[in-house]
């Protein structure tokens, strides 16, 4: 799964998306927008590859939590 330039509105939207992918093996997040996100929780027990391309600014405080 590759997501490019996606605007996530809140923490709950990311949690709903990434908790609904139990057989996800590869995930790429390419320059997504995290302004309103405190934490991204990715629960994918089969995850083998995670790539995050991001243009971080000094105000970004988003945490990435992975349950693989």
Q: What is the pLDDT of residue 56?
A: 60
d(CA 52, CA 37): 15
Cα dihedral sign for 21, 49, 40, 7? negative
Cα dihedral sign for 9, 5, 23, 48? negative
Q: What is the pLDDT of residue 55?
A: 65
Residue 29: other Cβ atoms inside 10 A: 20
Average pLDDT of each block of 10 consecutive residues along the chain (68 residues)?
90 84 91 84 90 71 81
Contact 31, 54 (CB under 8 A): yes
Q: Sheet with 49-53: list strands edge to edge.
A: 2-4, 26-30, 49-53
């Amino acid at each position: 799964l590759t997501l490019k330039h996606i605007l996530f509105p809140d923490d709950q939207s990311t949690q709903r998306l990434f908790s609904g992918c139990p057989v996800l093996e590869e995930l790429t997040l390419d320059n997504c927008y995290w302004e309103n996100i405190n934490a991204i929780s990715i629960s994918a027990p089969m995850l083998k590859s995670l790539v995050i391309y991001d243009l971080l600014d000094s105000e970004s405080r988003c945490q990435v939590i992975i349950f693989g």
